[in-house]
Copies of this chain bind each other. A is one copy, B any other.
């Protein structure tokens, strides 16, 4: 593990950071659902589709770099795993945004604004942590913060679903809204899996 500071390795960290930056952009785009008319929601979902394609490209660039590099900053399989975990976050965000349009969701339920805020914060914390993979320092605060945010997301999610069950008279609407609220909770879980992947690398390389 003496190769971390060579210029060649730096770009792995830059690629992980770019990948996480796309998540920051995606979670910012999500909040536009709260501002636009229902007729404009398709445009928001389209923009998220573009970001998802960009994230796919970033993931493939990482995989290609692993395959063509003689030296990697940590185990090839762990780079692969972390790249895939970041990609999963984007996939859940894009998919669930698409459901808002496809299911012709009515009014955006109140709790969604809070779900979006937590996801935005998770993305920021993740993007800030990626460059620290190079030194493997100060990562603990990142795990603790992601864990705290995931607990907050989880508690909010449970309450939103319970309120939906206890207050909504239309079962089809309950199923639709639950699928969307569950989808954003999956995105929050996916951010926690990124943190676990980073934690796994740190445990191994320590």
A95 CB-CB contact with B under 8 Å: yes
**Majority SS at the chain A contact face:** helix
Interface residue total, chain A, C-beta cutoff 8 A: 38
Chain B residues with CB under 8 A of A161 = 102-103, 179
Chain B residues with CB under 8 A of A42 = none
Identical chains bound together, number: 3
A14 CB-CB contact with B under 8 Å: no
Residue positions of A touching B, CB distance < 8 A? 63, 66-67, 75-77, 79-81, 84, 95, 98-99, 102-104, 154, 158-159, 161-162, 165-166, 168, 171-172, 174-176, 178-179, 196, 199-200, 202-204, 206
- Identify 27 residue pairs between A and B in the complex whose beta-carbon atoms are under 8 Å apart, listed by A's number: A63-B199, A63-B203, A67-B203, A67-B206, A75-B204, A76-B203, A76-B204, A77-B203, A80-B199, A80-B203, A81-B200, A84-B196, A95-B158, A99-B158, A99-B162, A102-B158, A102-B159, A103-B161, A103-B162, A103-B165, A165-B175, A168-B172, A171-B171, A171-B174, A171-B175, A172-B174, A175-B175
